[in-house]
Structure formats: structure tokens, C-alpha cells
Amino acid sequence: MKFIQKTLILILLTTLSVKADQGYNLWLNYQKLTDPVSLKEYTGLLKSIHFDSNNSTQQVAAKELQNAFGILTGKDLPSNRSMESGSVVLLKESALKALQINQQVPDNADGFIIKQVTVQNKQIILISSQSDIGLLYGTFAFIKQLQLQKRLTGLNISESPKIQHRILNHWDNLNRTVERGYAGFSLWNWHTLPGYIDKRYIDYARANASVGINGTVLNNVNANSLILTHEWLLKVKALADAFRPYGIKVYLSARFTSPIEIGKLKTADPLNEDVAQWWKDKANEIYKLIPDFGGFLVKANSEGQPGPQDYGRTHTDGANVLARALAPHQGILMYRAFVYANEIPEDRAKQAYNEFTPLDGKFDKNVMVQVKNGAIDFQPREPFHPLFGALPKTPIMAELQLTQEYLGMSTNLAYLSPLFKECLDSDTYAKGKGSTVAKVIDGSLDGHNISGIAGVANIGNDINWCGHPFAQSNWYAFGKLAWNYSLSSEEIASEWIKMTFNTDASTLQAISQMMLQSRETIVNYMTPLGLHHIMSWSHHYGPGPWIKDKPRADWTSVYYHQADKNGIGFDRTSSGSNATAQYFPEVAKIFNDVNTCPEKYLLWFHHLPWSYKLKSGESLWDGIVKHYYLGVKEVEQMQNTWDSLASKVDGDIHLQVKQLLKVQHEEAILWRNSCVLYFQSISGLPLPKGLSKPEKDLNYYQNLEYKYVPGI
Ligand code: GCV
């Protein structure tokens, strides 16, 4: 009896200790390996680690490996000043020759090799790179091999990133609220900085480095100029110092009117000499504190933010004045193309292209124009932005949104790699077939030597960082795709699941299926067949297809769906706003013709009668309604799948996701009922046979009010 009691207590304690992290460890969730073959191989082969102990990046690499190895195998991996058989050896490429190691290391500072080689009769695991940070990336890649229980014999990995600047954009305000943030408050505790370095900052840097993210913009693009005052720069410096060993550069969003607000100048006119000097002095001040400061991100003349046009100047004037201040320090200026103005009577989807294409070739060399994946705003589905490929003389960064502003915030399970890839894999035809968005942004299509990609972060101070446990996968996927956009969503999901849940094959398959379906499910119950921006007003939570009469037409839903008794959809063809003409001819032709336009973009580009026949043979009206009902069904399927995994994943996480799926189910029903009833009030058509009528009436849904929705 006593024995049974003891065993039970032990089991309970073990379970509790596994549970204790509640998602905090992210995908670096090391657990004792279960596979005896791997355990035997790793403990048999690996004896020590050899690295340059004077280098702070190599120190953290060694610490990471020692920590991971200890937990995974239960054995120590001591550091050893000399190389021995069984050493994991971190060596810069420059040191290989002296040791007569003849190995090819990628010609890219961040690239690395991991190889089992024999050196001076000793069999070692060699991790080599041109840079220390490459050694850290290599070490994380090696740890992943162990986590995934891969064989070491004959190990031979060579990797380098396709994109140079892989940057998170935090929309964090200085008061710690996060614009469109659904995972608590900002990670940056400005009040206790610079004196107090929270352990979270280090864990944040570790997580980023483990997926190759190498930059972070700390503050919201709707920027507060206070961040550029000396007092606040000291806080920024403290973060930069903490992140440096992990290869994470710090960047800041700069408010265009800072020269007035904190510099006491009378103007922020970019062509004014005092203004140019102010930015130069400010950059010099920053670089004195933070020698490897990355640069500035600017949102100008958009949604009320100040910019060069306030002074009758162009975006190029605005970008170049800041770029010239940064250039002597090798800093970059990321200038956002997310601009639109309701004063211009033009389809909002066309405005960025109209404003930026005439400026191509006029930006300084260290300017990158940052373009959202689509021309409206991070919708559950958008066709790729026509600016990709349209600015051949300007390096273009893609901006993706990891935070789920329009995809159910932190209550909906949405794995976004398929959304990211839909954009990156799109063919712009800028230089003929194969001119994908990915090739535009990696610089290869137009021969640029700087390249970048940005992800609007979904990170806050919630215990699990991202709010929804599955939202962590989007942070992970962003890093992986920024490094190598050729990876498939399946591969990324599979790695993430194994590293996060440490799970078996059938569990892996079940979770993977849920993840891969999840974004399409959301499209089904929110914005099927190319519908877009029909969320509630301002906070964007829940359905609001009826939103109209707001200060600007392009902030209303009726502007986007254009539904009337005859039909629905935004006509962006040559008979409408002609936005299709902004794409290269091959693409324009496909989108412009209703017969070739992919149905997933149908109502994005076409206004069609309710009776229009879809490929399935059913009417557009029936098709729309069926998508809404299907979306709800798919959430139910996810719930069933998740329920079946109760004994397979950590209890706390299981319960959390189970509850969230229930909320998601209710929200999916809310979306379905609201949209179906609203569109029915316009089309006047009956529901397709077999579908049950929503319980409540339209009035009920239209009168729902959501108070204190996070993220505003
Ligand atoms: C930071 C959308 C969001 C805004 C965001 C803006 C942008 O409009 O709703 O919160 O502002 O995009 O990307 O600048």
C-alpha cells in the first residue's frame, strides 16, 4: 500500500514538474529523451564541448548545449579546453586552416556547418561558421537534432539564411500596452530599465536566436518620440546589451516629428538643414551608446501619423533624411508602404502602389521599403501586394503579421505558415515566370545586396508569451521561413510540435492536421471566397459586415463587400477600380477574368450576382453560406481531435487549448450567424437545403457590443 502511495506521489510530482513551465519554454522545451537508441548514441558519442570561452556568443552557445544535453540525456557535457574524441567543437572558419581541417563553410556570415569529422585522429562534431553568431545558430541546429532524436553518425548539415535582416516588429507602446497585442502587456518593462534586466529578455533572445531572428524593433510604428530622448535611449541600450550575445540587433520606430517634439525645432521638414542635422546628431548619440544599433522603422503619412507630405515633400525625401543620418554607421532605414488616405477617391488597395512606384530608384542605398503581404491589411486571406516586383530599384521587405488582429486574436487556433507561404510563393511575373515574392524580398530577383523580412510580433508578458499555446508556432514559423522560405508548412509544423510537445507519431499527425487546416477554417467562417475586412469596427473583434457610416469609407465593411440586392464583391477589374492592372500582365489577366480568378480571391476582385455559378455548380449565395457552415463544422472537428489527445499532451496545456477551442467554436458560430443573416437580409434568398436557421435574429447580433477588447 505504502509503495503504491509513494509511486502515486512520485507520478504526481513528475507530472507537476512537466506542467510547471505552462508553455514558457516554447519550442526549447527539453525533456528527457525516451528513445533508448538516441540516448545510447548521444551519451556514447558526445563527451565534451570545446569553444572560445572569451567570446560571449560562444559562451551562450556552450551554455545552451550543456543545458539541453543535460536535460535530454541526464548527463553532463563538460567544457574542455582541448579537443578530444567526442568533443562538440565550435570553430570559426578562420581557425580551421591552422588545424588542417579542410571543410567548406558557407560564404554567408550567419551560415554554418555541422559535421561529424575526424581531426588529428579524434572524431568530433564540428560546428563551424564565419561568425560567432553563426556558431550559435549552428549550436541551436545541433540541439534540434538531439531534440528530434536524429542520428549523429555521418551528420552533415550546411545552412545559410536566404534573407539578411530577419526582424520582429513590436507594436509596443511605452506605457506597456501593445497595439493589436493579445498576450498581455509589453515584455519591455521600461520603468525598471535600464537597471533591471528581466530574465525574460534573455529567454526572448534565446528563442529568437534559436530560429535565426536577428533583429527587433522595440516600439510601435505609431511611435512616441520620447523613445529617442537620452533617458530612454539608456533603457534601449540596456536591452541591446542583453541581446547582443544572441545576435539580436535593436531597432527603433522613429516618429517623423521628433525634431519638433523632443528637439525643439519649429519644423520636421526633411529638406530643412537643421532637421537633417538633428537626425544626424541623434543617430550619432544612439551609436555612441549602441554601436551595433540596427536602424529606424518609419510609418509616415498613414492613419494620422506625421510624415514628409505634411511639408509638401515626398516619401523619398522623408526616408532619405533619416537614411543619411544612419548611413555612416551602417544602419538601415525601413520605410513602410502602408499608406492610404480617404481624401483620395481611390480604391484603398491601389494607393500604396500609386504612391510608391514613381519613387523607385530615388531612395538612398540603405533604405528598404516595407510592404505588407497584401494591399489592404493582414486579412485572413489577401492576394499578394502588387508592389512586390514593382520597385525593382528598391530593396523590398515583406511585412507579415504574427499577432492575430484579424484572425481571432488569442482565442482562435491559427497556424499562419500557410498564409505566409501563400504570399512568399506567389509568382509576381515581374521578370517572367518564377519571379516569386520570396525572390523579390531576398534580393535575388533584382540583384540587391540588402534584404529583409519583418514579422509583427505576437509576444507579450503572458506566461506562455503568445496567449494561445498554438500562437507560439507562428513566432517559430516566422523565424524558420525568414531563414529558409522554401521550407514547407508541414515540415515547420512537424518540428514545432515535436519540440514543443515532445510527442509520438499519431499525436504528431493529429496536431499537424489541426494546424494545417486551421487558417482555412478561419477563412471559411470569417471571410470566404475573397470577402475581406468585415470585422467589427476599430478593435476588429468579431463580425461586423453591417459596419457603415464611419469617418472614412475605407474603415467600413460595406465599402469592402459592396453587397446589394443584385450581388456582392468589390469590382477591382478593368470595369471597376482596375486594381488588377497593378499586377504584371500575366497575373492581371488571371485576376481580371472571372473565369480564371482563383475562387479564393473571387469577391476580392469581382462583384458578382448572387446567382453566379461557382465551380462546384452551386450559386454564389449557396457557396458563401456553405463556407460559413463548413467553418463551424471544422472547428468541431478540431475539438474532437483535441479531445482525443487528452492523455497525450501536457494536462495544463490540454485543458487550456480545450477551453480556447470551445470559445473559438462559439465565436465561429457568432461569425456564421451574423454574416449569413446579414447577407441574407440583402440577398433575400433562402438558406441552402439542409442547413438549420440561426437561433437568433440579425438584430440580436447587430446589437452585441464588445467592451474593452484588447489591443487598441
Ligand atoms: C500600428 C492596421 C492596424 C493598426 C496598425 C496599422 C499599421 O490598420 O489596425 O493598429 O497600426 O495597421 O500597420 O500601421
pLDDT (tens digit per residue) in 126-183: 999 999 999 999 999 999 999 999 999 999 999 999 999 999 999 999 999 999 999 9
Q: In 10 A of CB 587, how many CB atoms?
A: 21
Rounded Cα–Cα distance for residues 8 and 686 (Å): 59
Asked if residue 513 lies in contact with residue 363, where contact means CB atoms within 8 angstroms, the answer is no
Q: For residues 379 and 532, is the Cβ–Cβ distance under 8 A?
A: yes
Tell me how far the alpha carbon of residue 513 lies from the centroid of ligand 1, in angstroms: 31
Task: Indicate the burial class of 196 (C-beta count within 10 angstroms; 0-12, 13-18, 19 or more).
Answer: exposed
What are the Cα distances from residue 367, in Å, to 295, 296, 317, 353, 702? 10, 10, 11, 17, 45
User: 629 Cβ partners below 8 Å, 6+ apart?
Assistant: 672, 691
Q: Which atom of ligand 1 is nearest to the CA of 221?
A: 1
Among 159, 193, 228, give the residue marking a domain's end: 159
Do 55 and 91 contact (CB within 8 A), yes or no? no
Per the domain annotation, does 9 fall within a domain?
A: no
Q: Are residues 398 and 440 in the same domain?
A: yes
List the one residue out of 185, 238, 202, 175 whose CA is nearest residue 59: 202
CA distance 431 to 392: 10
* 485/527 same-domain check: no
Same domain assignment for residues 94 and 71: yes
pLDDT of residue 5: 54
Q: Does residue 194 share a domain with residue 97?
A: no
Query: Is residue 94 located within the same domain as residue 150?
Result: yes
Q: Is the dihedral of CA 459, 461, 467, 473 positive or negative?
A: positive
Q: Catalytic one among 405, 462, 520, 652?
A: 405
What's the 599 CA to ligand 1 centre distance in angstroms? Answer: 27
Residue 682 is predicted with a pLDDT of 98
- 23-40 pLDDT tens trace: 999 999 999 999 999 999
**Residue 234, domain extent:** 165-490
CATH for 363? 3.20.20.80
Helices (H), 123-166: 132-147
Q: Which of 490, 512, 531 is the last residue of a domain?
A: 490
- Rama region for 200: left / alpha / beta (φ>0; ψ in -120 to 50; rest): alpha
Give SS3 for 419.
helix
Ligand 1 centroid, distance to 331 Cα (angstroms): 25
* Per-residue 3-state assignment (H helix, E strand, C coil) for 273-334: HHHHHHHHHHHHHHHHHCCCCCEEEECCCCCCCCCHHHHCCCHHHHHHHHHHHHHHHCCEEE
| Ligand 1 atom showing the smallest separation from residue 302 Cα | 14
Strand-pair category, 156-159 with 396-401: unpaired
Tell me the pairing of strands 156-159 and 112-119: antiparallel
Does residue 709 fall inside a structural domain?
no
Name every residue whose Cβ is closer than 8 Å to that of residue 472 and which is 6 or more positions away in sequence: 23, 26, 27, 464, 465, 466, 496, 500
66 CA distance to ligand 1 middle (Å): 42
Q: Is the CB of 179 under 6 A from ligand 1?
A: yes
Number of independent structural domains in the chain? 3
- Boundary (domain end) residue, out of 159, 188, 216: 159
Cα–Cα distance list, 176 to 136, 220, 243, 299 (Å) = 31, 10, 20, 20
In a domain, 588, yes or no: no
- Whether residues 184 and 308 fall in one domain: yes
* Same-domain pairing of 384 and 464: yes
- Residue 348 and residue 317 share a domain: yes
Active site residue 231: no
Tell me: do 312 and 459 sit in the same domain: yes
Picking from 704, 420, 313, 125, the residue whose alpha carbon sits closest to that of residue 322 is 313
186 and 55 within one domain: no
User: What Rg, from alpha-carbon coordinates, does the chain have?
Assistant: 26
Q: Residue 630 sits in a domain of what CATH number?
A: 3.90.1330.10
CA-wise closest residue to 498 among 69, 246, 143: 143
CA distance 655 to 379: 29
Both 149 and 197 in a single domain?
A: no
Rounded to the nearest angstrom, the gap between the alpha carbon of residue 66 and the centroid of all alpha carbons in its chain is 29
Q: Is the CB of 377 under 6 A from ligand 1?
A: yes
List Cβ neighbours of 328 (8 Å cut-off, separation of 6 or more).
283
**Do the domain assignments include residue 587?**
no
CB-based contact 25:18 (threshold 8 Å): no
Mutate to test the pocket of ligand 1, among 219, 335, 377 (most ligand atoms within 8 A of CB): 377
CA torsion 499-248-57-330 (nearest 10°) is 150
Q: How far apart are CA 56 and CA 367, in angstroms?
A: 31
Query: What one-letter code names the amino acid at 228?
Result: L
**In this structure, which residue's CA is closest to atom 13 in ligand 1?**
338
Concerning whether 405 is annotated as a catalytic residue, the answer is yes
Atom of ligand 1 nearest to the CA of 299: 14
Residue 26 lies in a domain: no
- Tell me, yes or no, if 377 is annotated catalytic: yes
Query: Strand order of the sheet with strand 122-129?
Result: 48-50, 87-92, 122-129, 112-119, 156-159
CATH classification of the domain holding 59: 3.30.379.10
Examine residue 579 and state whether it is found in any structural domain, yes or no: no
How far apart are the CA of 42 and the centre of ligand 1, in A?
A: 48
Extended strands (E) in 351-451: 367-372, 396-401
Residues in the chain: 712
Exposure class string for 206-225: b at 16+ Cβ within 10 A, else e: bbbbbbbbbbbbbbbbebbb
Atom of ligand 1 nearest to the CA of 305: 14
Query: Does 315 share its domain with 462?
Result: yes
Counting atoms of ligand 1 from 1, which one is nearest the CA of 220?
Answer: 1
**478 close to 496: Cβ distance less than 8 angstroms:** no
Asked if the structure places residue 504 within a domain, the reply is no
The two most distant CA atoms of the chain are separated, in Å, by: 86
| CB distance 620 to 614 below 8 Å | yes
pLDDT for 239-275, tens place per residue? 999 999 999 999 999 999 999 999 999 999 999 999 9
Position 1 in a domain: no
Which residue numbers in the chain have pLDDT < 50? 1, 3-4, 6-19
* Distances in whole angstroms, Cα of residue 154 to Cα of each of 115, 124, 137: 7, 11, 20
Q: Is the CB of 338 under 6 A from ligand 1?
A: yes
